[in-house]
Structure 1
Amino acid sequence: MATGIRKLKTSLVLSLLLDTGCSRAPSPFVLSTAYRAAEGSLQRGDLRESLSETSDALAKIDKRDANSIWRFRLLEAEILMWQGRSQDSLTVLKAVDPGEPSDSELQARRSTLQGTAESNLQMLPQAAETFARTESMPGARLPGVRVDLDLGEGKLAVFRHDPVGSERLFHNALNLALDSGLTFGASKALGNLGMLKMSQNRYVDAADYFSESLAAAKKLNAQSLIVRTTGNLGWAYLQMGDLERASELFDESASESHRLGLPADEKTALMSIAAIHFMRHDFITAETSYQRALELAEQLGNRQEEAFALIDLAQIEIERKNYGAAEGYNKRSLEIESAMGDHDTELYSLVNEAQIASLRQDYETAERCLMRVVHDRKASPILEAQALSTFATLDTQQNHFRAAEMHFEEAIASLETQRGLLSREEFKLSFPTNEKAIYDDYIDFLIERKLTDKAFRVTEMHKARTLTEEFYSRNRPGSRGISLAQARKVAGRSGHTILSYWLGPERSYLWMFQAKESHLYILPGEDRIRPLVDAYRNHLTGALSSLDRGDEEGKELYQILIAPVESLIAPQSRVVIVPDEELCGVNFETLITTSKVPHYWIEDVSVTTASSAALLAYGGHQEREASRQKQRKLLLIGDPLPLAYYPPLPHAEEEIMLIKSHFVPEQETIVSGGKATPEAYFRAKPEQYDLIHFVAHGKADRVTPLNSAILLSGQASSPNLLARDIASTRLYAKLVTISACDSAGKRIYSSEGLVGLSWAFLRAGAQNVVASLWEVNDASTPKLMDVFYAAIARGEEPELALRSAKLSLLHSQSAYSRPFFWAPFVLYEGAGSSYEYPSTQKMTHNQ
């Protein structure tokens, strides 16, 4: 059953930045100093201190001074609303004594706050009446009040499903706040526009608004606003599948909201953190966070948030197959939604009800619930996909296999629609995380039905989505994925064995392709494989790693991943690995054979890596040949000036000189020292070169991988040659080598694998990229590169040349024989890399 498909629920609307705030200082009065202190505490986010200061002031004010009392009461009502206590806020605002304030601004602000509190409590008709009265008040014309009134009325429009009206009001508030210098109000308006875009599934626009709102809030050091906006920005990233960035933002929001005494924001952050644990199948941790969030929602009297927590707790019990508990939670959520008339939230409970009913073989109820969701125009593409996937499971249980396949295809199409709305590459990279669970279910279904060709096509549809987009549009418009026969053809044409992996929660799969045969093998689930990968990588990245220390994980991984096909791979074969998920961080050359004399697999075969089999099948061979000039050239750039916070590279110059020695000067362009800048790379017209080599520090950005960089010289400008700029500059190089630490990247995406500098060069069009999985040793690397380029100059293909270089270190009887020194480098194959190209011998001195 598909899990982990999350949607921004309208609960977030209740934790919008729509709570009206102090947009302008009040008129001076006798307790002005105390007021400024309490207001300052509120804007800084210290709600406990602000509430204490407000209470102290109220105790000292002359009971006949209605205006002064109401100034502090309004501040108290705001604080309570920020804490999520809208009912308590409304009680304060409706107090009778000491009568109405005479000040017109106070009258309008009181009415605005009352309407906002009523909206929060879903008292929508009352809120509309309150705002209508406010509009006629003289004080409503003041900029500070007008901004908050527009925000309040915009919030009401959100609840009434009027996106056009709400957007108009939010923009009115934003423009007035900017014109009036009300930074706090502008920050809130930007945040509200972000929430509106979230409700419309326009996550890129939402992230932009939240980022602007956050920047404004930080200028004011408005901690409450910072906390809330940070959490909302996390939701935008979560909806785009960027779990790591979202998790960081939620953790920050949860910690700060607890410290500042913001239970409503703490509850929202806990719900968000739980959602990520749920998607990662960590149900124990998810349940703990959901239960705490439910307690906070109940304490705050927030019925809608109670419903959301109950929905998610039901989902956990469904995954555990504890249907009685699931039904109990879901029944409670449906009762709340019915009482509130909350149709949008009810859709999620209906999917839960359908899943419970199908597992109890109550197919009629399940189908009725799912039909309501699928045909509801308010259902988001992600929720629709979850419902369709559940429909497919229901079909399978009833042996309606053709219908099941159709529903899986419709679910994937729904997700494709959502992905197509994303305008930025970094968000397209992360979005497939939302799809993985449905792909897992679909592939399991197809393999159980023995539809192995279709199953392989589906895995290929998911892999290298962004990397292959250009090649598909150019070569096979409207088509994605390749067949078993096509994969065999690629293997035969290139002389490689292709091993393509798919990791699933309960079982994983391996497809093996050679020229005349292909086979499917069922492997253990990712829960068994992932810990082995983590442990073995930690072992390899220790400089003292060797065959006689900590090699059990390497042997077990070989037994799981390679042993099933070992007898079909002849010695000295050439193997392409198409990894999935955690396997993207594994150098398969280091796996330890289970023969009588254990040894690293590199001694038996040459190994390269590709993001997908389709990437090997569709390349621009003719385009590459047409783009080449008659002379084939080497661009060698590196040994930049030292940078602060980075150690020197004493052997960088040696590496450049060793590589240089293998080619004739007329065919080399060498850029080093202070001239080795990012601008110099682009001025050199890299599209003209056959070989490109970098010798420098590398910076892998885990949060935003396209901000990973090769660190060059940069006296007058930035030294960062960014991955995003690399990817946008067309290349036709046969080989790019990045001799830098972590140049393959640190972030694994569900569809793309490792994304960093190597991915960027492949995206630009490089045929092969050599990059590192971990830290590169400055002393051993020149030795490896010397042997590597000597072989390249003799005409060897890059994969064989790199293997020879690695074996020279492995067999060196020195400290460099350990995998730490030779194994970080991996050769990644790009589009068309399996085509044969003319020899590079014309580039040698001998020629």
Structure 2
Amino acid sequence: MELFAQAAGETREAELRAASLNNACFVANQSGRTQRAGELCVAAVEAWRTVGESSGLARALNNLGLARLAAAQLAAAESAFAESVRLHRDSGDPLSALQTTLNLGNVYQAAGRFSAADELLRATGDELSAMASAGDDAANEQLATTRINRAVLLEQIGRYRDAADLLRGVAGDPRLEQRSRAFAEANLAVILRNLGDSEAALERLEEAERLFRQLGDLGGELNVLINRGRVLAQNRRAPAEAALVLDRAIALAESLGDRLQVVDALLQRARLARSAGDLESARRAAERARRLAREAQLTQALWQIDALEGRLALDDGRPDEAAEHLRSAATAIDRTQSDAARTALDARTVAEQRSVFEELVALLLSRASPSELRRADERHTVVDTGYAEAYLWTVRAKQRQLLERLGRVALHATAELGPEQLVRELQRRLEEDQVLVEIFALEQSSVAFTLTRDELFVRDLGDREELERIARRLHDRLRRGATAAAGNTVDTGDVTQLSRLLPDESWRGTPREILVAADGVLRYVPFELLRPAALQGDLVVERVAVRYLPSALSLLDPPDERLEPPRYRLVGVGEVDSPGREPLPASARELDAAARRLGRHRILRGGSATFAALREAVGGGASALHLATHTTFDDRAGAASSLQLAPADGNPGSGVVTPRQIASLELKVQLTVLSACSTASGLEIDGQGLETLVGSFLAAGSDAVVASLWDVGDRNTATFMQQFYHQLDRGLDAAEALRRAKLELLGDPRWSAPHLWSGFVLLGEAPVIEPVGWSGWRRVAEGSTLLVAAAAILALASALAWLRGVYRR
């Protein structure tokens, strides 16, 4: 690298200098020196611009894009790749253009734009396929790479079988190079393992190992060994064989000097030994892995080792030591900054991180006796129990999980607060008539933390699987339209069972508002529909307003400083064509009703409602953003929930907007309304899709979001929204306006069915959106104090004069 850079500095020939700088940039990228690569690539691009040779400039721009991608500078990477693609095409080099297009697809994946990435890879594959059919062998190899990349993408968004079909096609094509087929076999084996087909996975790994061995590719062979060890350990039928394979992998990784793979294999070996009850061997492997991970500064491995050692300490009956290890692991996870250059964490890694927090919370709670934990009348003060610390790790786990999915993981501003400090700070933010209920799902059970201005209570809610099964059943009935005529009424037994989610502690005193931070599938429960025993038969909606939060940490986010009044009182989006979805003819009526109530507005309709147009419209701020367009909550691992807008520049994929794109907006909005939400059909819901999409609007700067937990229907939604905006126009805050709208429908036999009103929920906290005319009256009042005072004196004098006249008569 430095030799090339030196050569560039010594030569006077412009083209040789540009080529040397580009070579130096390439080597820096390959060696992982991201910052140096960026410097050299910028210099190479400038040199090639001076030379004026488009092919050299295109190659330099591609290298610059790779450097920017590695540095997580996604916008800069996208710009460099896009210009490189254009130059390659202009110079008549379509194959190089398509190779660079694959890099552009990696940018889309890194930004969470999975639909756009999939569309790009599909189009690239079609073009390469046409070139290969015309006899271009190089295009055929590039086509194989494209299919492997697309398979990896499909695996990340949960389309395992589609990914497997693509990889089978590559692995079984004898025309392709052996290396391409070997990589396809290895990736296919991983997917088959995830699908639970261990036997097929082992067959594919055996073939991949044979191909890699023929090629003399020891790195590929090592990857196969580690995955074979995982498969053998997973089915637990061949622990001895799994141990031998992992030992071979450790030896090969050590001979290659690959510390990352050594640590990975040692971790697998330790887990295997623990599952076999050989705790001593597990401890030795974990200690060795820790030593190597520290030397190589492998942060990801260190928290995994801490978690494993915590579990080993629990196995040995040493809860204090276990708690220390689990705290260390949770702290490391909490402090790890997200690498924005990756698409998303592997679903297994996300689950493993979550399990660390679950185990730590369960361990801290277990230090109180079960009877004490379940006693409804027990008051757990934050100074003499471990409940405050359990609550601290609860809220951190939930906050991190959301931000990780948005690609915005960073340490929360309150991370340095201790358990008691955190609880007291949250209590300080609560009003006297507010109660916060935070639910957390552990491995076996779920717990509810209830926080008032004075106390913290903990309640064991019972079996987690049972609660989630009931919640799914209730949501499914409501989603399908629970009506007596359809023989599909809401089961009162389900409502009664779920009513324990609001423990008796929630109703001490007379709360005006309950804040709910649910977890997992319980986010799809409409708490307003519940009937807690403390309410003596009343629905929650009949007593209090309910507001939902991703976690209690949302209360501690600093308020936005909005000194300037918003440009619009309403920005609306509607009448967008959504391919494959039912049209929303009543959306125009929704938007018109909102515009009449709120006044100054901008409405984006049809083809004009692009993501770029939305970004521009909300840039100056808005009191309300109303999106009357299809929104889908997708709970599949790695999948992206989405908002449907109009496509730009003829690219259909650009109309599907993901949570990461939404989170990138700078929303200066008090209230966002998503009026046409639906849950992706046929899915085993777990609440992540809802939390991620709604959370993206909160992360972008919206104070609050109104969304529906299921598709209520176009006409029914329009009716509800008209009532909601009518209540807002009365000067109510969003939570109370939503409650009053529900009560109006509940009291009308035509709209009283639960599925028509209970699904609309408010997340976050929106200030009162002042009705049209209020601000003008306030300005008169504030600017005319003397006139008002004079008028009052004059009115008083007139009244006295009139009274004197009456008295004289």
TM-score normalised by L of structure 2: 0.65
1:805 aligns with 2:741: yes
* Distance in 2 (alpha carbons) for counterparts of 1:675 and 1:309: 48
Structure 2 gaps of 5+ residues are: 1-22, 45-55, 63-83, 130-138, 175-179, 214-220, 369-385, 779-809
Tell me what 1:511 maps to.
449
Tell me what 2:732 maps to.
796
* Distance in 1 (alpha carbons) for counterparts of 2:104 and 2:728: 56
Tell me what 1:618 maps to.
557
Superposition pairs of residues 376-775 of structure 1, within 5 angstroms: 376=292, 377=295, 380-398=298-316, 400-401=318-319, 403-415=321-333, 419-423=337-341, 432-433=350-351, 435-450=353-368, 451-465=386-400, 476=414, 485-486=423-424, 489=427, 492-493=430-431, 495-524=433-462, 526-545=464-483, 549-550=487-488, 555-556=493-494, 558-559=496-497, 562=500, 565-566=503-504, 568-569=506-507, 573-591=512-530, 601-620=540-559, 623-624=560-561, 626-629=562-565, 634-640=569-575, 648-662=583-597, 665=599, 668-671=600-603, 677-678=609-610, 681-685=614-618, 687-698=620-631, 705=640, 708-711=643-646, 726-742=662-678, 754=690, 758-775=694-711
Tell me what 2:286 maps to.
370
Tell me what 2:263 maps to.
347
Tell me what 2:793 maps to.
none
Tell me what 1:144 maps to.
none
* CA displacement at 1:528 relative to structure 2: 3.6
- Cα distance change, pair 251–804 in 1 and its aligned pair in 2 (3 A): farther
* Distance in 1 (alpha carbons) for counterparts of 2:536 and 2:452: 27
Tell me what 2:753 maps to.
818
- The residue identity in structure 2 corresponding to 1:507 is S
* Distance in 2 (alpha carbons) for counterparts of 1:796 and 1:727: 28
* CA displacement at 1:724 relative to structure 2: 5.2
Q: Deviations over 1:206-252 (max 9, x none)?
A: x99999988755532267755555445655797xxxx5347466334
* CA displacement at 1:464 relative to structure 2: 3.0
Aligned to 1:463, the other structure's residue is in SS state helix
Aligned to 1:500, the other structure's residue is in SS state strand
Tell me what 1:130 maps to.
none
Asked if the contact 2:171/2:182 (under 8 Å) is kept, the reply is no
* Distance in 2 (alpha carbons) for counterparts of 1:635 and 1:210: 34
Asked if the contact 1:558/1:591 (under 8 Å) is kept, the reply is yes
* CA displacement at 1:545 relative to structure 2: 4.0
* CA displacement at 1:615 relative to structure 2: 0.4
* Distance in 2 (alpha carbons) for counterparts of 1:721 and 1:351: 38
* CA displacement at 1:369 relative to structure 2: 1.3
- The residue identity in structure 2 corresponding to 1:790 is H
1:329 aligns with 2:246: no
Aligned to 1:826, the other structure's residue is in SS state strand
- The residue identity in structure 2 corresponding to 1:392 is G
Aligned to 1:512, the other structure's residue is in SS state strand
* Distance in 1 (alpha carbons) for counterparts of 2:269 and 2:647: 57
Asked if the contact 1:235/1:272 (under 8 Å) is kept, the reply is no
Asked if the contact 2:607/2:646 (under 8 Å) is kept, the reply is no
Asked if the contact 1:743/1:756 (under 8 Å) is kept, the reply is no
* Distance in 2 (alpha carbons) for counterparts of 1:646 and 1:211: 19
* Distance in 2 (alpha carbons) for counterparts of 1:274 and 1:510: 38
Aligned to 1:741, the other structure's residue is in SS state strand
Task: Name the stretch that deviates more: 227-236 or 464-473.
Answer: 464-473
* Distance in 1 (alpha carbons) for counterparts of 2:642 and 2:171: 32
Asked if the contact 2:587/2:628 (under 8 Å) is kept, the reply is yes
* CA displacement at 1:693 relative to structure 2: 2.9
Asked if the contact 2:151/2:164 (under 8 Å) is kept, the reply is no
State the number of aligned residues: 655
Asked if the contact 1:700/1:745 (under 8 Å) is kept, the reply is no
Asked if the contact 1:576/1:610 (under 8 Å) is kept, the reply is yes
* Distance in 2 (alpha carbons) for counterparts of 1:728 and 1:306: 39
- The residue identity in structure 2 corresponding to 1:435 is Q
Task: Name the stretch that deviates more: 713-722 or 635-644.
Answer: 713-722
Asked if the contact 1:609/1:828 (under 8 Å) is kept, the reply is yes
* Distance in 1 (alpha carbons) for counterparts of 2:746 and 2:314: 52
Asked if the contact 2:182/2:212 (under 8 Å) is kept, the reply is no
Task: Name the stretch that deviates more: 818-827 or 268-277.
Answer: 268-277
Tell me what 1:271 maps to.
189
Asked if the contact 1:508/1:526 (under 8 Å) is kept, the reply is yes
Asked if the contact 1:705/1:747 (under 8 Å) is kept, the reply is no
* Distance in 1 (alpha carbons) for counterparts of 2:607 and 2:166: 44
* CA displacement at 1:560 relative to structure 2: 5.0
1:220 aligns with 2:128: yes
- The residue identity in structure 2 corresponding to 1:499 is V
Asked if the contact 1:633/1:690 (under 8 Å) is kept, the reply is yes
* Distance in 1 (alpha carbons) for counterparts of 2:455 and 2:682: 35
Aligned to 2:714, the other structure's residue is in SS state coil
Asked if the contact 1:521/1:564 (under 8 Å) is kept, the reply is no
* Distance in 2 (alpha carbons) for counterparts of 1:480 and 1:709: 42
Superposition pairs of residues 86-125 of structure 1, within 5 angstroms: none
* CA displacement at 1:644 relative to structure 2: 6.8
* CA displacement at 1:701 relative to structure 2: 7.5
- Cα distance change, pair 792–186 in 1 and its aligned pair in 2 (3 A): closer
Asked if the contact 1:443/1:455 (under 8 Å) is kept, the reply is yes
* CA displacement at 1:565 relative to structure 2: 0.7
Of the candidates 219, 225, 231, which is equivalent to residue 307 of structure 1?
A: 225
Asked if the contact 1:204/1:427 (under 8 Å) is kept, the reply is no
* Distance in 1 (alpha carbons) for counterparts of 2:591 and 2:658: 22
* Distance in 1 (alpha carbons) for counterparts of 2:466 and 2:200: 26
Aligned to 2:731, the other structure's residue is in SS state coil
Identity %: 18
Compute the RMSD of aligned alpha carbons: 5.5
Asked if the contact 2:665/2:700 (under 8 Å) is kept, the reply is yes
- The residue identity in structure 1 corresponding to 2:673 is T
Q: Deviations over 1:388-419 (max 9, x none)?
A: 21112223344555543443344345545764
* Distance in 2 (alpha carbons) for counterparts of 1:219 and 1:389: 47
* CA displacement at 1:807 relative to structure 2: 2.6
- Cα distance change, pair 685–328 in 1 and its aligned pair in 2 (3 A): closer
Asked if the contact 1:267/1:297 (under 8 Å) is kept, the reply is yes
- Cα distance change, pair 789–713 in 1 and its aligned pair in 2 (3 A): farther
Asked if the contact 2:249/2:265 (under 8 Å) is kept, the reply is no
- The residue identity in structure 2 corresponding to 1:219 is E
Q: Deviations over 1:518-564 (max 9, x none)?
A: 22223445544444333332221113445995567774475256257
Asked if the contact 2:629/2:643 (under 8 Å) is kept, the reply is no
* Distance in 2 (alpha carbons) for counterparts of 1:357 and 1:603: 56
